[in-house]
Structure 1
Amino acid sequence: MPTPVRFWFDVTCPFAWLTSRWIKEVEKVRDISIEWVPMSLSVLNEGRESLPEDYKAKMTLAWAPARVCAAVASKEPEKLDALYTAFGTAIHRDGQRDFDAVIGQVLDSAGLDASYAEFATGGPIDDTLRAYHRSAMDAVGDEVGTPVIEVDGTAFFGPVITRVPTGEDAGRLFDAAAELASFPYFFELKRSRTEQPQVRPEAQS
């Protein structure tokens, strides 16, 4: 029976994007079943007035794609994988920064109805998005961002990677992350990051 993996993501985060491409590599070499769930850095950072102005501007822009993902997750969750791939390709590989402008394009690419774009402006869908985000925080705690992964009932933040391992390397990283997370008294393993996310070379492979 496949090991259940739940993956919470914000499409605008380059680190979540790389981790998502890794877990799809894991899917090729390990018997896992992935459930994709939206979360939101915009929700996470609501009310944090001390953030730099440029980052707050990014958080304002990040609402629209997160809302669309929440709408699709609530109505057609089986298509969320394709939607995330389409969003991530446009944003991280192609360098699109006008998130509103790519929504129609990615919906079409993922085989979704164009009417989902109407959710981008907010309304009741914000409560749905917050509920999805809350489910990630409930699983792992409030001191993390995206991605959050739950493997067979045990949740953790990350892994934070700057490149995407493939083949058995992807499987070994999965085995190691799941094994560490299985210890209830293990909380953190960290070192200074020395390179930026290698998003474009990976996405073109």
Structure 2
Amino acid sequence: MSTQNNAQAITFYFDVSCPFCWVTSRWIKEVEKVRDVAVTFAPMSLFVLNEGREELPADYREKMKANLGPARVFSKVAVEAPDKVDELYTVMGHMVHNEGNGGRKDFGGYNDIIARAVEKVGLDAEFAAVADSDEYDEQLRKFHATAMEKVGNDVGTPVIQLGERAFFGPVLTRIPRGETAGELFDAALTLGTYPHFFELKRSRDEMPSFD
């Protein structure tokens, strides 16, 4: 789609480990085909969002540890090779979710996935190595804080920014295609850019499908 000055600017904050975020991101990729939008993907972090929350189940906290490595990598890519963020998210997200590699635990849990994805998109191995380093932690926290400043801390991923307005979600369990994707975007845009809209929610009763 066109990225001229009149295109709708979208910033999509993501954590590659989240399956719901992955479905929403594939919806946005469908929207790119049928609406005049300019999408920028930017990292946020479920690890940062949930750190210090000892009330969370131990198993969930272990998964949050594994999520830190990929988020670190995306922070480095967003700073040093921003034109690769979209492609790397697509490649790594497919490996994590479509190939059934999600839900890993502990620090370094996704290192093999990271290494394969970084190589596949033509980035140097130094980008994968940052998964085990705190070199980009400050930058990751800045990306995350930018998303949270728009929507508050009682949300997760994704955060979608439309101009000066942003919202959490939409949370989807299937990937809308074609004009259906565009119509849902139109509805989200109408709600999301209305200054007094805050929340529309119901309980989830199914898990995501990535078909």
In structure 2, which of residues 13, 18, 30 is the aligned counterpart of residue 8 of structure 1? 13
Q: CA deviation at 1:124?
A: 2.6
TM-score using structure 1 length: 0.95
Which 4+ stretches in 1 moved above 2 angstroms?
none
Q: CA deviation at 1:153?
A: 2.2
- Does 2:142 correspond to 1:131? yes
- Does 2:64 correspond to 1:53? no
Count of residues in Structure 1 that have an aligned counterpart in Structure 2? 200
**Separation of aligned partners in 1, 2:196 and 2:160:** 17
Deviates more, 1:136-145 or 1:27-36: 136-145
**Separation of aligned partners in 1, 2:164 and 2:119:** 34
The corresponding residue for 2:3 is none
Q: CA deviation at 1:61?
A: 0.6
The corresponding residue for 1:114 is 125
- Does 2:147 correspond to 1:142? no
Q: CA deviation at 1:122?
A: 2.5
Q: Give deviations 1:129-151, integer Å, cap 9, x for gaps.
A: 10000010011111111000011
The answer to whether the 8 Å contact 2:16/2:70 transfers is yes
The answer to whether the 8 Å contact 2:162/2:193 transfers is no
The answer to whether the 8 Å contact 2:72/2:131 transfers is yes
Q: Give deviations 1:22-77, integer Å, cap 9, x for gaps.
A: 00000000000001100000000010011000000000111111100111001011
Q: CA deviation at 1:170?
A: 0.2
**Separation of aligned partners in 1, 2:11 and 2:57:** 31
**Structure 1: segments with no counterpart, 5+ residues:** none
The corresponding residue for 2:82 is 77
Q: CA deviation at 1:112?
A: 1.1
**Counterpart amino acid of residue 11 in structure 1:** V
- Does 2:68 correspond to 1:63? yes
Tell me the secondary structure at the aligned position of residue 157 of structure 2. Answer: coil
The corresponding residue for 1:174 is 185
Q: CA deviation at 1:152?
A: 2.3
**Separation of aligned partners in 1, 2:122 and 2:67:** 22
**Separation of aligned partners in 1, 2:131 and 2:193:** 37
Q: CA deviation at 1:11?
A: 0.2
Compare the two structures and name the one with the higher helix fraction.
Answer: 1
TM-score using structure 2 length: 0.92
**Counterpart amino acid of residue 121 in structure 1:** D
**Counterpart amino acid of residue 14 in structure 1:** P
The corresponding residue for 1:95 is 100
**Separation of aligned partners in 2, 1:99 and 1:79:** 19
Q: CA deviation at 1:13?
A: 0.2
Q: CA deviation at 1:87?
A: 1.0
Q: CA deviation at 1:84?
A: 0.3
Query: RMSD of the alignment, in Å?
Result: 0.9
Identical columns (%) = 52
**Counterpart amino acid of residue 22 in structure 1:** W
